[in-house]
Structure 1
Amino acid sequence: MLLALAYRLLGQVTEAEDVVQDAWLRWSAADRGGIANPAAYLTTVTTRLALDRLRSAAARREVYVGPWLPEPLPTADPASDPADPADSLVLRETASMGMLLLLDRLSPAERAVFVLREAFGLPYPEIAEILDRTEDSCRQLLSRARRHVAAGRGATIVTTAEARPLVDAFLAAARGGDLGRLRALLREDVVVTSDGNGAARAGRHPIHGAEKAARLFAKVFERFYTGRAEIAFAWYNSAPALVIQAPVHLVVYVFGCDAEGRIAEVYCVLNPDKLRHVGVGGPAAPGAARGSRSRSS
């Protein structure tokens, strides 16, 4: 649960793990006799540590090259997840690429209240104590956060197992250079966002529209992802994904698919600093939609 919390606050797998490790060290050094509720104590420490990192990350983003994307989080196949469907849906949505980008537009306090309340259902008195604010202040923060998130939502994205055939068809069309088939698989208003931070060749601006996106994918796959490239299907952020190990770089494509069976969003993570935990066919850890995952680094 602490990993799930930290990841939703930071959007980075490695930083979330560091935060939970720091929280564990504080727990180990604490006077246990004075802690009446260990879960509340650990939640408070984890949230505050994550917020400290989130504030410092804002300065680093000012020199980031091109679009910033969250680190892809290995997750389980939604069809095999035994969790309660309603509970799982809320948690999955708050860890999706699209939602994490929306949360990134919020202030640290707004983001914390939104995650604690919407994803984990904490009561206002507990949230107020964690953030050292009044309950009324937390309610106002949540109201603003909800408005910002609602205003930024795009197409309705589905993350069920039925999305895999769509991604398989995309891969076949891209490798075959079939522009007509690619255009048919993409929504007319599809958005393709690439994150390389100058360390990998990636677009400096998002690509909008099926025509431009189809040509981009046909060109990229022809140039980089044929021959010796290894491509595996996986689940990241509870969404269908492709992990591609090309001779020159590693990339993870995370897809957002709409209810009509088309691709509405493609997130291309090429920044090697964000892929240290990824391998071809990257780990799909059971329960990772709620934060736990197998250690792969």
Structure 2
Amino acid sequence: MTRPDPITSERRHLTSLGYRLLGSLADAEDVVQETFARWYALSARERDAIASPGAWLTTVAGRICLTQLASARVRREAYVGEWIPEPLPGSTEWIGVVDPADRVTLDESVDMAFLVVLEATTPAERVAFVLHDVYRYPFAEVAGIVGRSTAACRQLASSARRRIQASRPPVATPAGKQADLVRSFKVAWEAQDIAALIGLLDPGVTATADGGGLATARLEPMYGGEAVARACAAILDVLPGITFRETTVNGRPGMLSRQHGVTVTVFAFDVEDDRIKHIWAVRNPEKLRAWTAA
């Protein structure tokens, strides 16, 4: 019996894994291409001798991502301004998960706030945590990918888990409530209603923009409800013709803005205690390719 082509059966899994590890869909797709190139570089006899092609491909992709994460830290030191993970349009159905319980876990793991926190972990911590806590790989298998002992991988995942738990609110805001806040924020922004904007923002709100040197954006985060509200209102004065639309960003309620019919910014939000706690504005056009037809 002919073994199924792993490209067909594993591409979605490897892409979703690569995105969670690298925070970039483009980079994840490059990892998948490199992984399959290594697979087909094997002889037919070598491929037939591999008992689980899926496990082999995951191991190779995980190791490539680990190397990419180490080099990414060096590249981001030269990045212009703040680096934000690439936003994904629409729902997260592309991850191809069947089990509803798994879908909840995986959907949460592409939330922008989750990915931003992951950026603070080391490459080894990130790989160990994502493989074990998100994809439920046993630590013995994680060890073979990370190149550490089983005990060391358990400690790496635990360290990442503590960091994430310390950064996330104990109770997640329901998507419906977040959608209401985003809608109210859009209406207040369009009306340049500074008082209304301040009322929707947490007093300690953080707004971070990513232009990558390719689009105008603040190089450092902005803090404070009043400062963020006034900055939002001022944007409409300097960018005539800009329009806003509610959308789904990384599986959560978000917004995008257009100018002359082109998507120029994608906004992701984190909500805590019924107020907007974080705003991420991605303006780097290289990260908005998936939104060109949005």
TM superposition score normalised by structure 1: 0.85
Q: 1:263 aligns with which of 238, 252, 276?
A: 276
Runs of 4+ in 1 over 3 A off after TM superposition: 81-86, 151-157
Q: For 2:33 and 2:163, how far apart are their aligned partners in 1?
A: 32
Aligned to 1:66: 81
Is residue 15–residue 28 contact of structure 2 (8 Å, CA) maintained in 1? yes
Give the root-mean-square deviation of aligned CA atoms.
2.3
SS at match of 1:177: coil
Is residue 186–residue 244 contact of structure 2 (8 Å, CA) maintained in 1? no
SS at match of 1:158: coil
Is residue 159–residue 240 contact of structure 1 (8 Å, CA) maintained in 2? no
Matched, 1:215 2:230: yes
- Amino acid across the alignment from 1:246: Q
Tell me which moved more, 180-189 or 151-160.
Answer: 151-160
Q: 1:163 aligns with which of 153, 158, 178?
A: 178
Matched, 1:21 2:33: yes
Residue by residue over 1:209-249, the C-alpha shift from the partner in whole angstroms, topping out at 9 and shown as x without a partner, is 2111111111113432x53x343322111121212122497
Identify which of structures 1 and 2 has the higher relative contact order when contacts are C-alpha pairs closer than 8 Å and 6+ apart.
1
- Cα distance, 1:251 vs structure 2: 0.7
Rate the CA distance shift 1:108–1:159 in 2: closer, same or farther, 3 A: farther
Count, aligned residues? 276
Aligned to 1:112: 127
Rate the CA distance shift 1:22–1:158 in 2: closer, same or farther, 3 A: farther
TM superposition score normalised by structure 2: 0.86
SS at match of 1:7: helix
Tell me which moved more, 6-15 or 89-98.
Answer: 89-98
Is residue 173–residue 274 contact of structure 2 (8 Å, CA) maintained in 1? no
Rate the CA distance shift 1:143–1:155 in 2: closer, same or farther, 3 A: closer
- Cα distance, 1:32 vs structure 2: 2.1
Rate the CA distance shift 1:250–1:10 in 2: closer, same or farther, 3 A: same
Rate the CA distance shift 1:168–1:190 in 2: closer, same or farther, 3 A: same
- Cα distance, 1:157 vs structure 2: 4.3
Aligned to 2:249: 236
Aligned to 2:267: 253
Rate the CA distance shift 1:28–1:162 in 2: closer, same or farther, 3 A: farther
Q: For 1:220 and 1:57, how far apart are their aligned partners in 2?
A: 32
- Cα distance, 1:115 vs structure 2: 0.4
Rate the CA distance shift 1:262–1:84 in 2: closer, same or farther, 3 A: farther
Matched, 1:5 2:20: no
Residue by residue over 1:119-144, the C-alpha shift from the partner in whole angstroms, topping out at 9 and shown as x without a partner, is 10111111111222211111121122
SS at match of 2:27: helix
- Percent identical residues: 39
- Amino acid across the alignment from 2:198: R
Q: For 2:82 and 2:243, how far apart are their aligned partners in 1?
A: 25
- Amino acid across the alignment from 1:183: I
Q: For 1:124 and 1:53, how far apart are their aligned partners in 2?
A: 21
Is residue 243–residue 279 contact of structure 1 (8 Å, CA) maintained in 2? no
Matched, 1:49 2:64: yes
Matched, 1:204 2:219: yes
- Cα distance, 1:29 vs structure 2: 3.2
SS at match of 2:143: helix
Residue by residue over 1:70-90, the C-alpha shift from the partner in whole angstroms, topping out at 9 and shown as x without a partner, is 010224189xx9965542232
